[in-house]
Amino acid sequence: MVALTSRLALALLAASPLSASVLRPRAGANRQWVSVDSDGNARTYIPTSTQVNGVATTLSAAPYILTGSVFTVTATNGDVSTSTGAPPPPRATDSDGGRGVFNVCMDNANSQIAPFCQPRARSELYVKEPYYITWDSSGFGADLNTVANIVGLAVTRQSGTPTNAEPNFIINDTTIVLGRGYYAWTPSEADLKGSTDFHNVSLMLQFVSSESNELTNVTGPTITLLPARANIPEEHSDDDDDEDDDDDDDDDDDDKNGGPNVLAIALPIVFVVLAIAGLAAFCLFRRKRRGAAAGASINRTSSGFGAQAAHDQHLGRKDNNDIQLEDRSDTVSPISPASTSGRNVFQEEVARQERERV
């Protein structure tokens, strides 16, 4: 009974959505992605797993903005907001599609919005901001080189289905080739059709089939257009673990990331050099000052009697190295009998005392 209960519990756990979500890898982590430079040239990257110094890493990994789930948005007025969930619709930095990244649309035949990948259904797009519309080109066969139009059909707010009226807009551009798989589109104020809050639009690819020579419509996602924002925010990823390719892609990565901050590197170096130079100058000044004080002290000590010597030199006196205490020719002991100075007071006193005794 215990064994049967254990097996049943394991079976339920294996079939539960929770266990499936735990075992499912992060979607899009190893998908091919495209980087478009400022000239509109697109380059496809294929992430590859490898080991560097024994550590597993991914070369040419897709940016976090394409694969992550937590995003910080900073508006130009300083407001910061954080969102979680699927990545936002991929944006370009200019209306002609220059400088931007997006995932390659592929293997989405079973998607509800096939052959489209981006923008997703119910995505919100702001007027006057460029976005990438992407689709899977693998299913068009002989029409890969066929030029198509991107058509926007107005969707009623009540039913959520496209109306039978005239298309909301038609993007007629010869660069929209089915085999290309993407197009940079900037919604305009006119696409809102006078709405001041939002307007729902269904995207559609429209082309003439090269096989049947008939007009073909391929309907995609329904999106929401919003009025232009006063401050277009900048999106930042919260993941710093993505690594760049170490080969010839370095130049492209520098252009995409804006390059290193030279000012932030140079300023600390300048401050350190100035501090070292100031300390060296202070030490040299102190050393010279101490040397000058010691020299002056030595000169005062070795200059004889100082002011007296200078006074003698001023009067023209010659230096006499010997101190003359007395004249040796006149030096006679006071008790010496050979004294020729006249009276001998000592001998006279002795003689007087002898006379008194007698």
Summarised one tens digit per residue, pLDDT across range 79-104 is 666 667 677 889 887 766 678 999 99
High-pLDDT (> 90) share of the chain, %: 32
16 or 328: which carries more pLDDT confidence? Answer: 328
| pLDDT score at 76 | 46
Identify the sign of the CA torsion 141, 144, 149, 155.
Answer: positive
**Domain map of the chain by residue range?**
27-257
81 or 2: which carries more pLDDT confidence? Answer: 81
pLDDT band at 256 (very low <50, low <70, confident <90, very high): very low
Residues 332, 339 contacting (CB under 8 angstroms): yes
* Interval 178-223: pLDDT, tens: 999 999 999 999 999 888 899 999 999 999 999 999 999 999 999 9
| pLDDT score at 56 | 86
Q: What is the mean pLDDT of residues 340-353?
A: 77
19 or 328: which carries more pLDDT confidence? Answer: 328
Which CA distances in Å does 231 have to 76, 94, 195, 228, 234? 6, 15, 20, 9, 9
150 or 236: which carries more pLDDT confidence? Answer: 150
| pLDDT score at 137 | 94
Residues 227, 192 contacting (CB under 8 angstroms): yes
Say whether pLDDT at 119 is over 60: yes
* Interval 272-297: pLDDT, tens: 999 999 999 999 888 888 776 666 65
Which of 83-87, 153-157, 258-262 has the least mean pLDDT?
258-262
| pLDDT score at 54 | 84
What pTM, to 2 d.p., does this model score? 0.55
277 or 71: which carries more pLDDT confidence? Answer: 277
| pLDDT score at 161 | 67
| pLDDT score at 132 | 94
Say whether pLDDT at 68 is over 50: yes
| pLDDT score at 316 | 53
| pLDDT score at 320 | 54
| pLDDT score at 22 | 32
The torsion angles phi and psi of 158, rounded to 5 degrees, stand at: -80, -55
| pLDDT score at 61 | 84
Say if strands 215-226 and 234-237 run parallel, antiparallel, or are unpaired: unpaired
